Structure 1
Amino acid sequence: MQTTWTSPSLTFSYVTLEDLTPISEMLTKETVCRWLFFGPNLPEVTHAYFLPFLDENALALAEDRLPSNFVFTIRNRKTKAFIGQCALIADEFSPGAYLVGYQIDDPFWNKGIGSEAVTFLIWFAFRIAGAYRLNADTAAGNQGSARVLEKGGFVPEGRQRKYWHARGGYHDRLLFGLLTEEVKEDVLATLDRLFS
């Protein structure tokens, strides 16, 4: 079963035990966690969160099936340098709906990687995971993340006021959605060629 997908510049691979160290280091940073409702985390907190995904992946691979959730490490295709992680987390009450998530390490910001990660997740969700809907959210102050989602075709669907309490303040939560019928077949065909 395939576990890694590539674009001309990036690789997206199912998260492994070896990936937990760079992911944990990334999520100790105040800069990376500024707009997240969690973190900065101690490494053991990050490990505890990701270990069930690793166990699920191992079982799914042993049974030659897709896991329920899809958590990926993002690396530079040429250098193999760690860049971040992205995920599709299944909505337990709506089979076929997934929550989109991504964190990019701060040295790699403003290079289009967030947009490419979201594009990969859209392609993977609708081509491989069989999704009918993607959900996404971001703190209202995180304009960069909102732009990434809108650029990917996500539609703004609402605002939850003072939804998150983090780092001493309250943050509104912006909600976004993308339905399978909103992504044109020719776009997915182009992405089929991009993510070999």
Structure 2
Amino acid sequence: MYPVTLTGPRLTLREFRADDLDASMAVVGDEEVVRTLSFDVRDRDTQALRLGQDIARARTEPRPDYYLAITDGTGTLVGFARMGLGRDRSGELGYAIRHEDWGKGYATEAATLMIDFGFTTLNLRRVRAACGPDNHTSQRLLARLGFTPDGRIRNHVYANGAWRDSLLYSLPNHQTEDEPREYVGTVRIEGRPEIRFKVSARSGPEARALAADRYGEGIISVWNEEDARRRR
């Protein structure tokens, strides 16, 4: 999907352009901002290369992520927001705001726009996020948005010359939780070889009950492929 524009009460999220280079340096070139991110401070040449790659990537099909510029009411670039696309209809949220605009609620508004876009337009089942253990501002923001903690990864990010742990969070799309999903299973019917089946159901127990109604009581196993991959 290209181009994408998301509009909120005070902010607009839009595709990056080549003329965003100078303004973007206030984010990626600021040590105070980058201190909590997953990459080192960038010089202008490095950012020029990365910006060109980001702009080109936005036009690929299928699109791997939505990396958008955050602009205020004057059209000034004040940060970025990203929704990376993973398997099983999952997304990974990221954001950053330039230092002079901290404390204005811009990160909250931009993150809300990205989450709404992910759930309503991209039909994601869940959105994940990660932040450093010392990034208490981001932790409070994620809590306000409804994210719940999922755990901690040791030595997850190498940036600014050191390894850093990450705290993991997730937010389910409650509107899709009751949607039927495909379950597969195996059944043994007397006098016949073991066979594999598929049923559409909202839960494992419902899938087993539907399979039993259809094939009898010889159900050996029932599972959802998405859940099975997540447990591996």
Q: What TM-score does the superposition give when structure 1 sets the normalisation length?
A: 0.80
In 1, are the aligned partners of 2:26 and 2:98 still within 8 Å (CA)?
no
In 2, are the aligned partners of 1:35 and 1:142 still within 8 Å (CA)?
yes
The match for 1:31 is 32
CA distance in 2, matches of 1:69, 1:37: 16
Q: Residues 33-73 of structure 1: CA distance to partner in whole angstroms, max 9, x if unpaired? A: 1112311112233333343331133456xxxxx83311111
Letter in 2 for 1:56: R
The match for 1:72 is 68
Letter in 2 for 1:174: L
Identity of aligned residues (%): 26
Q: Residues 128-179 of structure 1: CA distance to partner in whole angstroms, max 9, x if unpaired? A: 1121121110010000011111111111100123333433444221001111
Paired residues in the alignment total 176
Deviating above 6 A after TM superposition, structure 1's stretches of 4 or more consecutive aligned residues are none
The match for 2:106 is 113
- Report SS of the residue matched to 1:9: coil
- Report SS of the residue matched to 2:58: helix
CA distance in 1, matches of 2:149, 2:167: 7
The match for 1:102 is 95
Distance 1:97-1:51 versus aligned 2 partners, 3 A rule: farther
The match for 1:19 is 20
- Name which of structure 1's ranges 51-60 and 108-117 shifts more when overlaid on structure 2: 51-60
Using CA pairs under 8 Å that are at least 6 residues apart, name the structure with larger relative contact order, 1 or 2.
Answer: 1
CA distance in 2, matches of 1:161, 1:67: 30
The match for 2:81 is 86
In 1, are the aligned partners of 2:36 and 2:131 still within 8 Å (CA)?
yes
Distance 1:154-1:47 versus aligned 2 partners, 3 A rule: farther
Distance 1:142-1:126 versus aligned 2 partners, 3 A rule: same
In 2, are the aligned partners of 1:84 and 1:102 still within 8 Å (CA)?
yes
Match of 1:147 among 126, 131, 140: 140
In 1, are the aligned partners of 2:29 and 2:41 still within 8 Å (CA)?
yes
Q: Residues 100-130 of structure 1: CA distance to partner in whole angstroms, max 9, x if unpaired? A: 1101000000111111111111101001112
CA distance in 1, matches of 2:90, 2:109: 20
Q: What TM-score does the superposition give when structure 2 sets the normalisation length?
A: 0.68
The match for 1:47 is 48
- Mapping of residues 118-129 of structure 1, within 5 Å: 118-129=111-122
Match of 2:131 among 122, 125, 138: 138
Distance 1:43-1:158 versus aligned 2 partners, 3 A rule: same
- Report SS of the residue matched to 2:32: helix
The match for 1:193 is none
Query: RMSD of the TM alignment (CA)?
Result: 2.3
The match for 1:158 is 151
In 2, are the aligned partners of 1:53 and 1:69 still within 8 Å (CA)?
no
Q: Residues 72-93 of structure 1: CA distance to partner in whole angstroms, max 9, x if unpaired? A: 111112x1122101010112xx
CA distance in 2, matches of 1:150, 1:182: 19
Letter in 2 for 1:29: D
